[in-house]
Structures are given as structure tokens and as C-alpha cells.
A and B are shown apart, each in its own frame.
Chain A
Amino acid sequence: MHTHDSNAAPLPDRLNEDWRFGRPHVHARELAEALEHAQAAELRGIDLPSAAQLTPCAAEPLPTIGSEALMQRVLAGVQFGHCLRVADGLQRREAITLHSEVHGVQVQQLRVIVGAGARLHLIEEHEYGEESTLVCLRRYELMPGATLRLEQREIGSGNARAFCISSCICTENARFCSLSTHQDLAWARHECTLELTAPGAEALLLSANRLRSEQCLDMRNRQLHSSPGCKSRLLCKNTLTDRATAIFGGNIRVQPHAHDTDAYLSNLNLQLSPHATVHSLPMLEILADRVRCSHGSATAPVDAEQLFYLQSRGIPLAEARRALEEAFLADVRLRFEQF
């Protein structure tokens, strides 16, 4: 039971650094209003083995990236969620799928605990009806030596909207790889906080998104290195046509004493329309010595030299352009497969 006053904290606006760009004052207010009528979303497990059980569990707050007020409103409305607990040592080659169909305004809370030494490929799929909104809180905990390969597929339609807050904690020698894709959502905001808490933990955060018409995707990420000897990588790629907007905020924070950190983040955007907009804010906060950290961001149209190279082999211009657009995002999928 949450006793705090969920309406006390002010909603995010442009003055909130983590909500700059796009139309935060509109989206945050609409989201808060929608939450007053939200229902809990159903979650269906497909091909769950006996060693991975889906059970009800109490909702808990997650670290946000500028959305504390919205988090409070979510927790005030829906207090129970689902927990997928994977037994220690489970070695599962086939993917487990958690599927949801979203109608109206719905809230979903999911906690995934991957036991020590277990290995799992998890697919989370949200299929949105037109005009639907999903608010999703997700927490992943990887016990020592666990490996989780996670696909988060947001499959939208019409004016569907998504607001997701994810938190992942990797303990000693745990390995985490996520691939998020957003498709046909009018507006989506995804906050992801990754924390590496013990030596040997490693994470690869991937995202590949095709944005078109007036769609807006707002991705906020934090790679928190709180232990020495951990490695994290982030690659977020977007293709933008028409009047689409991509917003990216990425922050690698290396805590004091987290020496021998190896971290990188990259945001790459293929701008296929002069009317598309990209805001990219990669950042580093390094409070330890002896670390290797860097970031990169690039936004550009299709590379003219690559285009010419394909044409020089006889591939027609339109086909070459299409192949390069697809290759831009396919590269992300390839990295996920190779993890």
C-alpha cells in the first residue's frame, strides 16, 4: 500500500532536463489524466517451462529518469503486477514469450528474476489497439552468472502511445542484452536504468526503430556503473521519414571506486526527410579513475559513398537506398543475435 500523495509532485515539463524536447507538457499531462482511468493489462505467457513461473506480485517503485511524479501516479492506481521467476541454472535455448494486447488505457508491471547461472531468451510483445495507451513498469534482476537476452517489441497502430520505465540490475558476472523496437506508435517514451553492481557484470543495450509520419520516440537511458570491472554498451539507431521526431538522452555514470569500467554509448540516426527532427544528448559522468568511457552521436542522410558503391554494382538507386535503410537497422539485430 502506497501512502504518499500521488498528485503532490509536479508533472514533467520543458524545464525538466530529462523531459526536454518534443511536447512534454502535453504528453505528461495527457498521461497523468489517462492514468486516472487505467486498468491492469493482461499478460499471457507462451511456452513457459515449469522452471519459469509467472505469479502475481506487489508493485514496487523503480528508478526513473525524470518521471517520479508519473511513477507515483502509476503506483497509486495499480498495486499488483506479474513476476517471472526463473530457477537457478535453467538453460533454455528456445525463447519464452510474454504477450499482451493493449486496449484503452492500461498499466502493466513486470518483474523478472533470472536465477544464478540461468540462461534465458525472453520476448516481451505488446500489441496496441488504435487509440490505446500502455504504461509499463519493468524490473529485471540478474543473479550471479545469469544471462538474459531480452527482446521488447512494441507493435503499435493508429494513435497508440507507450510509456515504459525499465530497470535492470546485473550482479556478479551476469550478462544482459536487450533489443527494443518501437513500431507505429504515435508517441513513445522509454526510460531505462541499467545498474552494474558487481565485478564481471556486462550489458549490451540495443534499440532499433523505424519512425514515420508524425511519430515521436523519446528514449532516455542511464548506464550506472557502481562496481569495478564492469562493461556496458548502448547502441540506439533510428530511421526517420516524414515529420518524425527522435529524442535520445544517454548517460554513463561511473560511481567513485568503479575502476576498470569499460562503457560506451552511441546514438545513430538515419535522417531520410528534411522535415524529420532529432535531438541527441549523450553524456558522461565519470567519478572514478582508470576507466574507459566514451560516447558518440551522428545524424545524417544515407551515406553517398555507400549508395554509389551499391549502384556501381548495378543495383538501381531506389533499391540501393532501401537496402541501406534496412541494413542500418539490421545491423542492430545482428549484434543481438551475436550476443
Chain B
Amino acid sequence: MSLVIKNLHACIKGGQEILCGVDLDVPTGEVHAIMGPNGSGKSTLSKVLCGHPDYEVTAGAVELNGQDLLAMSPDARSRAGLFLAFQYPVEVPGVSNANFLRAALKARLPEGEELDAVAYYKRLRKVMNELGMDPKFSSRAVNEGFSGGEKKRNEVLQMLMLEPLCAILDETDSGLDVDALRIVSQGVNAMRSSFRSFLVITHYKRLLDYIVPDVVHVFHQGRIERTGGRDLVDYIEEHGFDFLKKEDA
């Protein structure tokens, strides 16, 4: 049971190809990190996996726990257990955080079944407290007027509440100060389990000091160029991505 990506090709609708044959297997219980230079296609991969309408899959297959992910609508992918913590979370004026999360949880229930409102709010307050979030954020509109760090923390709040089987964190560390990074990482680490997998996209070693990956991949020109262990992070930290250019040459 895992996230399995086979020979995935995708382009912006009517535009150029961005993913050029991605092969990746993230077994449950593992944390995989994806690093790579700007413009290599890392964020595109995360959006394609979640079914963003701007992208078109031209070849390949993706399975989540044996289910054909590409055949599903974006909301069905979420309900099947996929979660994306966005690099740039969207502001949704007029929809409170609490109502938004309640709707997302309710969508996971069998038809006709109601969410236990008391238990929901109790859990929401608990998780917010663990993330060091002011309870007032539950009644504020989703991400509206939030700072960059508050938006990222809100993404992790959603992840903790929705308990996905596979979570993709797209540069969750950007915009976070050191304390917030530690708190958010603790939240992610608390979710690590034998039945859940993570794909952590980042530019920086510091996030991977807190969320220690099992496997590290280097993304370049729309595909995975190299795979290794923790030592690959240290190598990139010291030498940058120049080795990719040398390999191209």
C-alpha cells in the first residue's frame, strides 16, 4: 500500500511539458523528500497529483493504495486519502476556518450521517492549541489576512484534522520562523505512522533536520534525477545543484 507514480508526463493545458516521466514509489510508513532547483517541476508534481485543472496528464499512471488516482476528481482524491499542503494557500473570504474544516470532514462521512459538532469543536481547539494557534483563527475567514507563516500553520492544522493517508508538503517551511518551523514539524512528526506516507518538497536542509526523511530524491527537468539517503541532503547543502548541470553536460 503506497503512492506509486509510473512514467508520469504532464503539461500546462495547451502548453509545454513540465513533468517528463516521473517514477516514484512512496511506501506507507515512509517520509520521502523531494529537493531540486527552482523550476524543476516539484510544485507541478504536487498539483498534478491533486488534480489541478490547469494541468493535463499526457501519459503515465498514479495509484494511491491501489486506486487509480488520475481517474478521480480533486475532491475524490482528497477523500481517498491524499492531502496537499499548498505552497501558496488561497484566501477564501466569507468562509470561516471552522466551517471550512467541518464541511471537509462532513464530506468524508457516509450520506445522511452528521458530524458530532461538540466533539468536532473540542478536537479543533485541541489541535489548534498544539500548533500554538490563537482559537480566534477558527472564526476567521480561511487564510484571509493571514501572514505567510499563519497560512502555512493553517495548512498543517487542516492536515492534522483530516488525517490523510498520504500528505504532500509543498515548501511548508517557507515563511515560517524557527519556532513556528519546530512546532509545525512536531505536528507532522506526530502524524508519522506505519499506515501513512509523506512527500516533503523543500529547498532547505533545515526542514529535513526536523522531519527526517527515509529517502531523498532530487528533481531536475521534470523527473527524478537521483535518489539517496540522508547524506544526499548534506551533499546538496554543501555543493548546491551544480552536479546536475555537470551530469547534463
Contacts and interface: CB of A to CB of B under 8 A. Distances in A.
Interface of A: 303-306, 308-317, 319-320, 323-324, 326-331, 334
B90 interface: yes
Contact of A314 (B75, B90, B95): B75
A329 B94 contact: yes
B75 A316 contact: yes
B95 A324 contact: yes
Interface in B63-109: 73-75, 77-79, 84, 86, 89-90, 92-95, 100-101, 103-104, 107-108
Contacts of A330: 94-95
B108 A311 contact: no
State the main secondary structure of chain A at its contact with B: helix
B73 A319 contact: no
B93 A327 contact: yes
A336 B162 CA distance: 33
Contacts of B53: 304, 308
Contacts of A317: 73, 75
B141 interface: yes
B33 interface: no
Contact of A334 (B51, B73, B94): B94
B95 A315 contact: no
B50 interface: yes
Q: Which of A303, A309, A330: most chain B CB closer than 10 A?
A: A309
Interface of B: 50-53, 73-75, 77-79, 84, 86, 89-90, 92-95, 100-101, 103-104, 107-108, 141-142, 158, 162
A306 B92 contact: yes
Nearest to A329: B94
B139 to A, nearest CB: 10
A323 B75 CA distance: 14
Contacts of B52: 308
B90 A306 contact: yes
A323 B162 contact: no
A315 B75 CA distance: 6
A320 B75 contact: yes
Nearest to B90: A309
Nearest to A237: B94
Nearest to A316: B75
Given A313-B162, A323-B95, A305 B103 contact: no
A309 B75 contact: no
Contact of A327 (B92, B101, B104): B92
A323 B92 CA distance: 10
7 contacts: A311-B73, A311-B75, A312-B78, A313-B103, A316-B73, A326-B94, A331-B141
